[in-house]
Amino acid sequence: MKQTTLCYLDDGERYLMLHRTKKDHDASHGKWIGVGGKCEADESPDECMLREVKEETGLAVTSWRYRGIVTFISDTWDNEYMHLFIADRWEGELDMDCNEGDLAWIPKSDLPLLPGMGNTDINLWEGDKIFLRLLMDEGQPFFSLKLIYVQDEMAEARLDGQPISGTGR
């Protein structure tokens, strides 16, 4: 299983997000996600997150929280463990010229996390809607989320080992 990181820079009202538009053969093409990427052989998840945020945004994260691990199982792309972070402080100048796609500050209220809410032009993976709701819940402890995808559709979701109602099996 490959190891990746994903970080949402949080200014209180908004998340810095990446609209994946620039790479060919990108499983997340057209989706809005946090910033992050693949762990290198000698990196801890924290080190990977710090490096990836710096590479993609130009910002150096100075305060963060490791919020959860997401296990992705798919019949079409590589399975992965994604280490999920929230950052609330950083230094430097934001470089909007990212080679992965377009960076933008997205108001949390615009995220379409539930049917009938948010901006439907913000295209999110179904599983991302689950973990974004968990991230927004300050009382939510560290979590383990397993997401199973068939093609690009979420077939099942399990939070801390328990099925999430309304998803899959």
- pLDDT digits 0-9 by tens, 38-62: 999 999 999 999 999 999 999 999 9
Q: How far apart are CA 20 and CA 65, in angstroms?
A: 24
Domains, the chain:
2-163 (3.90.79.10)
Concatenating the DSSP letter of every residue in 98-152 gives -SSEEEEEEEGGGS--STT-S-TTS---HHHHHHHHHHH-TT--SEEEEEEEETT
Quick check: 131 and 45 in contact, CB under 8 A?
no
| CA angle 101–81–75, rounded 5-degree value | 80
- pLDDT digits 0-9 by tens, 119-151: 888 999 999 999 999 999 988 999 999 999 998
Bridge partner residues of 70 (DSSP): 82, 145
* Among 97, 100, 90, residue whose Cα is nearest residue 34: 100
CA 110 vs. chain centroid, Å, equals 16
- pLDDT digits 0-9 by tens, 91-104: 999 998 888 889 99
